[in-house]
A = this chain, B = another copy of it.
Amino acid sequence: MPWKIQLVTNSPAPIFGQIVQQVRQAVAQGLLHAGDRLPTVRELADELVVNPNTIAKAYTELERAGVIAARRGAGTFIADGQCALTAEERERILTRKIEECLTEAVHLGLTQKHVLRLFTETAGRFRWPMK
């Protein structure tokens, strides 16, 4: 992998969830591309010093989300998943996420201008669909 997964063991976020999020983000940022091979369950388990079942759970979750595809006997690969949800559902999901984000921002005492700048800058580090 072109980068390292960072686990925070003293976190309320479960280990498998941290792995899921970091792989999803790497894909969204274009650090991982469709067809790239992920480390095997056992390799990653050794590297992160967690139980192989925990890695397997993360990979299962990612597969269910269409982010990766596991092939028995061959390994695990980044998929070129297309989201099949309706347009309304997608907006609904994202709006909720954005509201969480903004709630946090206001409570942190940041200004609207500052937040918009941070959002735009960060968006530039992601890999957007062309369509």
Contact = CB atoms under 8 A, between A and B. Distances in A.
A64 B66 CA distance: 13
Contacts of A118: 91, 94-95, 98
Interface in A80-121: 80-86, 89-91, 93-95, 97-112, 115-116, 118-120
Give the interface size class of chain A.
35 or more
Interface in A17-73: 21, 24-25, 27-28, 63-65, 67, 69-72
A99 B123 CA distance: 8
Nearest to A83: B109
Interface of A: 9-12, 14, 21, 24-25, 27-28, 63-65, 67, 69-72, 77, 79-86, 89-91, 93-95, 97-112, 115-116, 118-120, 122-123, 126-129, 131
Given A105-B94, A107-B67, A108-B93, A119 B119 contact: yes
